[in-house]
A and B are shown apart, each in its own frame.
Chain A
Amino acid sequence: GAGVSQTPSNKVTEKGKYVELRCDPISGHTALYWYRQSLGQGPEFLIYFQGTGAADDSGLPNDRFFAVRPEGSVSTLKIQRTERGDSAVYLCASSLRREADTQYFGPGTRLTVL
């Protein structure tokens, strides 16, 4: 079946702009996760959704970052007033039901802030 999809695959923006990154999880997966990967590093946890609610947003670096999942499927990661340090690959993953289930990742969105 279809895996996790993310759009856009690449996003270039200017410092100070607002961006939205979209994630479509595997159909039927209720748990959704966002991670961020800087160059040369492993992915780092940002936020976890169970259904529509954010169960844990402790990994979001500051209040410029926000994520939603209004209908319990597609999720959008929103970044306000982007900074050059936000440049990274943003990865989305989903798992079937419980947070203990195996997570499957999407291809990521490469964000470049000029």
Chain B
Amino acid sequence: DAKTTQPPSMDCAEGRAANLPCNHSTISGNEYVYWYRQIHSQGPQYIIHGLKNNETNEMASLIITEDRKSSTLILPHATLRDTAVYYCIVRDRISGGSNYKLTFGKGTLLTVNP
């Protein structure tokens, strides 16, 4: 079972920031938060990941709460091409066990409107 909870859908106006929430209240100390997105008819695309500090790259920013029970993916200036299903995944990055099995929930369908 997925360890994360995300809203099924969200809308955002083009050019505005898109803030996608994710609840992971049962996250353990070794588990990272990963975000992928899947544009229609394409494979999942890696966006960003983090442990406890906020992270930023050329695609997005990831804000993780201090208690690590939730996080927010921020697309600072959403474009029509950002319309996709966004998946929040928690996984253990310590080798061993079955941490290679990414567990995808149903994600959030973000629709960016003109």
Contacts of B36 in A (CB 8 A): 105
Contact residues on A (Cβ < 8 Å of other chain), bracket: 20 to 34
Instruction: Please measure, in the bound complex, the distance between the C-alpha atom of A33 and the C-alpha atom of B44, giving whole angstroms.
Output: 13
Residues of A47-62 whose CB lies within 8 A of B = 48, 56, 59
Interface on chain B toward A: helix, strand, loop, or mixed SS?
loop
Residues of A25-58 whose CB lies within 8 A of B = 31, 33, 35, 40-45, 48, 56
Are A44 and B104 CB-contacts (below 8 A) given A99-B95, A100-B99, A102-B49? yes
Residues of B5-55 whose CB lies within 8 A of A = 34, 36, 42-46, 49
In this complex, how many residues of chain B approach chain A with their Cβ under 8 Å: the count is: 24
Q: A42-B105, A106-B43 are in contact. List 14 more A-B contacts (CB 8 A).
A: A4-B43, A33-B100, A42-B87, A42-B107, A43-B44, A45-B102, A56-B101, A91-B44, A100-B100, A102-B34, A103-B46, A103-B100, A105-B36, A108-B42
